[in-house]
Homo-oligomer: A and B are copies of this chain.
Amino acid sequence: MIDKTLSSCAQAVAHVHDGATVMFGGFGSVGVPGRLVDALRDQGARDLTIISNGASDAALSPLFEAGRVKKLIASFPSPTSHQFRARYLNGEVQLELVPQGTLVERIRAGGSGLGGIYTPTGVGTELAEGKEVRVIDGREYLLELPLKADFAFVKAHLGDRLGNLMYRGTMRNFNMVMATAGSVVAAEVERIVPAGEIPPEQVHTPGIFIDHVVQAERHPRLVELPKEGAQA
């Protein structure tokens, strides 16, 4: 019987090596595998390259605080990313800034075996510097290359022993695409359910993409209500 479940987050991060590239899903406070973030901090791997949409304290602060991150590839390290910002400003952490849709496409290219994509996003901006510009059918595009990771850590609502995942609300965000692009993919889920309980048409991430599933309570960092003014 296939059983991809693990009994602890520590097991899920055990093999992350120094210098590894690690993806974390999540957008705002939703869909962030917060317990895996903590477990990775405790595990101790250093010089990590993190790929994540943002770097908010609620999501990733433990790794920045512990000085584990060498580089961040992200689209929006927002003003609430205090831990990242401090280390970026003192030169401890590098930043590769990628437009959000390009970040998605690069990860998708990595997970789907494509060698690259041409996107119109960013043409003529400073984020196009050093990138190939190509005119196709009269319009300019940038060549963007795939992103893959040694480990992808994602968060879902339900998971089963086969690795099938189901999200709720806006949890899918980067989790679905990152689940395709990690050499090892571990999912933190709120509840492990028996195989077959997620209807086939409601499996958002099929188990083929998932190596490990671990059940964990939502991290308290990610339960706090955001301040007024952060609303959109």
Which residues of A does B touch, CB under 8 Å?
A: 105, 109, 113-120, 134, 136-137, 139, 141, 145, 167-169, 201-202
Contacts and interface: CB of A to CB of B under 8 A. Distances in A.
Nearest to A142: B115
Contacts of A115: 118-120, 134, 136-137, 139, 141
Nearest to A118: B115
A141 B116 contact: yes
A145 B120 CA distance: 14
A105 B115 CA distance: 12
A154 B36 CA distance: 41
Closest 8 CB pairs of A and B: A115-B118, A115-B141, A115-B136, A116-B118, A117-B117, A114-B117, A116-B136, A114-B119
A156 B144 CA distance: 34
A172 B116 CA distance: 26
27 contacts: A105-B114, A109-B117, A113-B119, A113-B120, A114-B117, A114-B119, A114-B120, A115-B118, A115-B119, A115-B120, A115-B134, A115-B136, A115-B137, A115-B139, A115-B141, A116-B117, A116-B118, A116-B136, A116-B141, A117-B117, A117-B118, A136-B145, A167-B201, A168-B201, A169-B201, A201-B202, A202-B202
Nearest to A140: B115
Contacts of A169: 201
Contacts of A139: 115
A133 to B, nearest CB: 10
Among A114, A119, A202, max chain B CB count under 10 A is at A114
A11 B41 CA distance: 60
